[in-house]
């Protein structure tokens, strides 16, 4: 069964888009996006990355960007926070402006991606974290980004430590902007738990479909998890697991040619009929109808 391409390494992502940029550090790289205007492709189809990507743009024109199933058209002044495993695609007809940071959790010295979410919940994979910035916010971010670019280029002693510290500063600045963009702030611990829950669901949704499974991984009761998720997201924990399974089904229906039964068994449904019945109930169309309407 074919799936949505997963790009595991930073250099692999550069090579696939025709960029001549390369990094000797497999866990971190930053570049001024004006250096990406040499791209040999102006359209990049649906894919997943196995690392975090933070795009800080101001002045980019004619760019359409899709995260998960949401498409943003003609975005120019924005931040994109994409986590490992998110589905994305883009197309552009003009130049980029700003900075792009690619990094893995080990570079930040967090124990895992889930630990990183405690401080930076805007990498919640279930959300579409593309939000606007103003000129002042971009200018402040650009100062730190340019310092990282300089450190990366000069190779002086302690440059990894300095780049790591500056990356932390950028991430905290982004969190401030992210929280300022929210209409109603959510209580911090609830937000952290919701982000960790979404992270685990994204990792295990194919084989773990019970709320109790995720409660065990988070060392809390299923009832506490359900109540917290409901308060933080307005959705039940069970519905979020179901949504993730169906979201993956939608990706596979739209972006692959796998038949319906292959997709059903891949998503761990006992029978294709069970998958079709649930899909039709939640999406209001059969998998085949959805594919025909969205190809």
pLDDT band, very low/low/confident/very high, at 188 (cuts 50, 70, 90): low
Q: Which residues contact 195 (CB under 8 A, 6 or more apart)?
A: 117, 118, 121, 123, 124
Tokens 């795009």 label which residue? 55
Q: Please indicate whether residue 210 or residue 127 has the higher confidence score (pLDDT).
A: 210
Q: What is the mean pLDDT of the chain?
A: 87
**Residue 183 pLDDT more than 60?**
no
Domain segments of the chain as ranges: 6-180, 189-294
**What is the CATH architecture assignment of 189-294?**
Orthogonal Bundle (1.10)
Strands 87-92, 130-132: pairing is unpaired
pLDDT score for 184: 46
Taking only the tens place, the pLDDT of each residue in 141-167 is 999 999 999 999 998 899 999 999 999
Which of 62, 72, 64 lies closest to 128 in space, CA to CA?
72
Residue 118 tokens read as 């405690």
pLDDT score for 8: 92
Q: Are 66 and 72 in contact (CB under 8 A)?
A: yes
Taking only the tens place, the pLDDT of each residue in 271-292 is 999 999 999 999 999 999 999 9
From residue 241, how far is each of 210, 229, 246, 256 by CA, in Å?
8, 12, 9, 22
Taking only the tens place, the pLDDT of each residue in 26-61 is 999 999 988 877 665 677 778 889 999 999 988 887
Three-state DSSP at 228 gives helix
- CATH no. for 6-180: 2.60.120.280
Rounded mean pLDDT, 89-93:
80
Q: Which residues contact 172 (CB under 8 A, 6 or more apart)?
A: 119
pLDDT band, very low/low/confident/very high, at 174 (cuts 50, 70, 90): very high
pTM, to two decimals: 0.73
Q: Are 171 and 120 in contact (CB under 8 A)?
A: yes
pLDDT score for 187: 58
Q: Please indicate whether residue 290 or residue 87 has the higher confidence score (pLDDT).
A: 290
**Residue 139 pLDDT more than 70?**
yes
Percent of the chain at pLDDT above 90? 45
């Amino acid at each position: 069964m074919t799936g949505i391409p997963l790009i595991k390494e930073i250099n692999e992502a550069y090579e696939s888009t025709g960029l001549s940029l390369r990094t000797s550090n497999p866990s971190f790289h930053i570049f001024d996006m004006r250096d990406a205007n040499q791209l040999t492709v102006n359209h990049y189809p649906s894919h997943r990355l196995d690392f975090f990507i933070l795009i800080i743009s101001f002045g980019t024109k004619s760019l359409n960007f899709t995260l998960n199933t949401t498409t943003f058209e003609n975005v120019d002044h924005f931040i994109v926070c994409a986590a490992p495993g998110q589905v994305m695609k883009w197309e552009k007809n003009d130049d980029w402006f700003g900075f792009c940071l690619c990094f893995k959790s080990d570079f930040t010295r967090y124990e895992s991606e889930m630990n990183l979410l405690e401080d930076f919940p805007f990498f919640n994979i279930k959300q579409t974290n593309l939000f606007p910035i103003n000129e002042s916010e971009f200018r402040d971010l650009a100062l730190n980004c340019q310092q990282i670019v300089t450190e990366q280029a000069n190779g002086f002693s302690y440059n990894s430590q300095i780049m790591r510290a500056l990356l932390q500063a950028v991430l905290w600045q982004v969190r401030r902007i992210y929280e300022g963009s929210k209409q109603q702030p959510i209580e911090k611990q609830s937000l952290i738990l919701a982000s960790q829950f979404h992270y685990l669901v994204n990792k295990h949704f194919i084989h773990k479909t019970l709320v109790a499974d995720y409660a065990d991984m988070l060392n809390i009761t299923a009832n506490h998890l359900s109540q917290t998720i409901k308060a933080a997201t307005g959705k039940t924990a069970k519905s979020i697991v179901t949504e993730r399974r169906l979201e993956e089904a939608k990706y596979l229906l739209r972006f692959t040619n796998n038949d319906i039964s292959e997709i059903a068994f891949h998503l761990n449904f006992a029978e294709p009929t069970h998958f079709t019945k649930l899909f039709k109930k939640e999406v209001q169309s059969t998998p085949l109808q959805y594919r025909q309407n969205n190809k």
